[in-house]
Amino acid sequence: MPVIPDKKKSSYQLELERRSNDLLRVYNPMDEDAVVIWDLRSGGKIFRVPAKQEAVFPRYISEKYIKEMYDKILNDKAHDAIVKENKRRIDAGMAAMDKTFKTNEQMVFEQKFYNPNNEEAKKIISLLYVGVETQYGVDPMYQKEQEELGSRDFKDILTSVQEDKTKPTTVSKQNNSEYRCDWPNCDFSTKTKIAYFGHRRTHRKEIKKISE
């Protein structure tokens, strides 16, 4: 990657760079350890996620893990379904599915496993990605202090008073929680990371079939 002098970087670029140093917590639903290999050309760095356990890595490693494990889950599902379908056919006195391009039979059969619907894809990714463990260079306590200091500014007070007057009072306390579960059809939210991670783990039993 070319090195761009700091002065020329946009705030968006700087934010992306900061985020790449975030620590992300991931989960391995499989019965075997998973290994991510980074930077193979210079010898390779190895990152392990033990079976049925969580691990914390920098964002780029965690995202590579999630992508690879997501693909593995889909491939395993397709493979299992093919074995099962062929067994069913042979037991019934038929031939196994045709693997050649002549009929494309097996390819058509397995295709649907590689393209799960959005909700299923979201569940798999939610299972693998537990959440942000630590944001790089962001301290929530410091930020809260700054916000409180900042809120003494006349302009902010004026804006907030104006907003309060135009907003119905019942809604004003709603959007305060920091951690919101993104599991399909789940509306859980909390202010503490520990409660959030704990809640995320409860979804694992809903998706047990994935690792079987």
Q: Which residues bind Zn ion (CB under 5 A)?
A: 181, 183, 186, 188
Residue in 35, 28, 26 with CA at minimum distance from that of residue 57: 26
Q: Which is nearer to Zn ion, 57 or 183 (CB)?
A: 183
How far is 144 from 140, CA to CA, in rounded Å? 6
Number of H helices, E strands in the chain: 7, 7
Which CB sits closer to Zn ion, 99 or 180?
180
Closest distance of CB 181 from Zn ion, Å: 3
Nearer to Zn ion, 116 or 184 (CB): 184
Span between the terminal Cα atoms of the chain, in Å: 40
Radius of gyration for the alpha carbons in the chain, expressed in angstroms and rounded = 24
The residue among 188 and 197 lying less far from Zn ion, judged by its C-beta, is 188
Query: Shortest approach of Zn ion to residue 188 CB, angstroms?
Result: 4
Q: Give the nearest distance from C-beta 194 to Zn ion in angstroms.
A: 15
- Rounded-to-integer distance, Cα 150 and Cα 88, Å: 68
Shortest separation between residue 206's beta carbon and Zn ion, angstroms = 9
Least distance in angstroms from the C-beta of 30 to Zn ion: 22
Query: For Zn ion, which is the closer residue by CB, 152 or 205?
Result: 205
Residue number, 60 or 188, with CB nearest to Zn ion? 188
Please enumerate in sequence order all residues whose Cβ is within 8 A of that of 133, keeping only pairs 6 or more positions apart, or say none.
22, 23, 24, 25, 56
Q: Which burial class, exposed, middle or buried, applies to 149 when counting CB atoms under 10 A from its CB (0-12, 13-18, 19+)? A: exposed
Residue 180's φ and ψ, nearest 5 degrees, are: -125, 125
Neighbours of 62 (CB within 10 A): 25
User: Least distance (Å) from Zn ion to the CB of residue 125?
Assistant: 13
